[in-house]
Amino acid sequence: MSRKIFLAILALVVLAACPAFARRRAVLHPTPLSRKVIASTAIRIADRVRIDSFEPRRHWENVPFLDGLVLMGEELENQSNPAGARLIDRAASVILGSDDDITNLYWGDGTAYAQVSLDLYRVIPPGDPRREALLATLTGPMSFAEHAIRTTPAAGVPRDPWWIEGGYGTRYWQDDMYMVISWLSMNGSSVDGLPSNELARNLAYEWIEAYVYDHRPASSDPREVAVPTAAARNGFLLWDPNHDLFQHQPEWIGRNDLFWGRGNGWSAIALMRAAHYLDRPYSGTQYPSVVSPPEIRQMLVLMAASLKERQTPGGGWGSDLSHPLDCPIAETSATGMMTFFLARGINEGLLDRDAYLPVVMKGFGVLMQRIDADGVVTGIQPPGTGPDCSRPTIASDDVINVNYGAGGWLLAASEVMKFSDEELGKQN
């Protein structure tokens, strides 16, 4: 049993026996939804979530929360709410003030904070010295992203083998789509004044291509197979065109009953960001062709339609997307990520507003029910789990770091805040 899973089980036993935990789960009384209500709720959540108690501070579990602070802060500033700058500054203080090792990175999880760096770079005004400091945090992530997708045993030395076969390659887990593809696409973009780094842009295309299609070479050496260097496509890898969803890992390919909620949230956000930020074509040589932005957008449209049919009876998304009726309790992190993806799809004109606005608002209605009076977000699936509805959920201020659940809430709210009060009111 891994240390992470042991801690998760231990925490659940402790929390179940704790009366204070039960009291905290009481949610707020229903309130007519408006942008003002969403803003005040988001600020309460942001002020409640703790970062300092979890190390490393830049770890993946904190990244959705930190990015949620930035995107929510940006939207609050757009609506002349003075709290917006405070949320942005808080995220910047974590990214620039932590002493985590960000040079020696050996797995995608450790690079995820780079998307927070780039969102901060995008929203902080030119001339602010923090912008250059933020770009300096990308060196380690860029080194990892290039090594993992391109370096074979014949081409270079291994890196630390933890999670990676012999120190080479990728995990081929859909988590890494969010952890790596999102920030590579941003770093390679010129949209919103981003750096337009050609290497990052080509690496983003290569990571997408290698996770959608199977480019694993035919070899008896598992270290070589871990690096997706085969030029030709050998069918699909994680993308399942029969269900228009992503599998979590290659071992599940062909299964009809293993589609993970939060995992598909990772994939959807990554590709949504790639579709927005990849503004120039691929100029690399790793593959003769790669998935193009129009093809990414088409995949997202198909994925949205699949998710629309897989909502729980209450309107959210469960940890197991394969059985929405048998897994009827929505899971908060999956619901937050799906709501963010679909709401952004509406706001960017990718998805039909009339068809998807009710879907988004049902999902956000579930999220509004997952906050207690103290601003604690509840109903979050712990790390180390997958499409398993039998695993109980916990809150966001306990011994296990599930800050990604509060992050999913903030991400969703940052997009729903862009709807008019009239649209929000119609969904009450």
Half-sphere exposure of 88 (CA within 13 A, CB side): 24
Q: Convert the pLDDT of each residue in 233-266 to its tens digit.
A: 999 999 999 999 999 999 999 999 999 999 999 9
Average pLDDT of the segment spanning 325-337: 93
- Give the domain 3-426 fold: Glycosyltransferase (1.50.10)
Residue 303 predicted with pLDDT over 90: yes
Query: Are residues 338 and 268 in contact, defined by beta-carbon separation less than 8 angstroms?
Result: yes
Q: Average pLDDT, stretch 322-338? A: 92
Model confidence band, residue 428 (pLDDT cutoffs 50, 70, 90): low
3-class state of residue 285 by DSSP: coil
What is the pLDDT confidence band of residue 19, given thresholds at 50, 70 and 90? Answer: very low
Of 336, 331, 335, give the one whose Cα is nearest residue 394: 331
Report the Cα 278 to chain-centroid distance in Å: 18
**Does residue 382 have a pLDDT over 80?**
yes
Q: Does the pLDDT of residue 6 top 90, yes or no?
A: no
CA–CA dist 153, 194 (Å, integer): 34
Backbone angles phi, psi at 258, to 5 degrees: -135, 75
The arithmetic mean of pLDDT across residues 25-39, rounded, is: 76
Confidence of residue 27 (pLDDT cuts 50, 70, 90): low
The pLDDT tens digits of the residues spanning 266-286 come to 999 999 999 999 999 999 999
Alpha helices in 279-426 (DSSP H): 293-308, 332-347, 353-368, 403-416, 421-426
DSSP string, 198-261: HHHHHHHHHHHHHHHB------S-HHHHTS---SS--SBSSEETTTTEE-SSGGGTT-SS--BH
What is the rounded average pLDDT of the residues 172-177? 96
Mean pLDDT: which of 30-34, 54-58, 352-356, 424-428 is highest?
A: 352-356
- Work out the average pLDDT over 179-190: 98
Q: For position 427, what pLDDT does the model report?
A: 63
The token duo for 102 is 């960000």
pTM score, whole prediction = 0.92
- Distance between CA atoms of 203 and 357, rounded to whole angstroms? 34
Give the model's pLDDT for residue 170: 95
Residue 260, phi then psi, degrees to nearest 5: -85, 135
Q: pLDDT category, 162, cuts 50, 70, 90?
A: confident
State whether residue 320 is helix, strand or coil: strand
Q: What is the mean pLDDT of the chain?
A: 92
Q: What is the percent of the chain with per-residue pLDDT over 90, rounded to a whole number?
A: 83
pLDDT at 9 over 70: no
Q: What is the pLDDT of residues 144-160, one digit of tens each?
A: 999 999 999 999 999 99
Tell me if 414 sits within 8 A of 46, measured CB to CB. no
Q: Domain map of the chain by residue range?
A: 3-426
The per-residue pLDDT for 53 is: 85
Select from 29, 2, 7, 23 the least CA-distant residue to 395: 23
pLDDT given at position 131 = 98
Check pLDDT > 70 for residue 17.
Answer: no
50-64: average pLDDT: 92
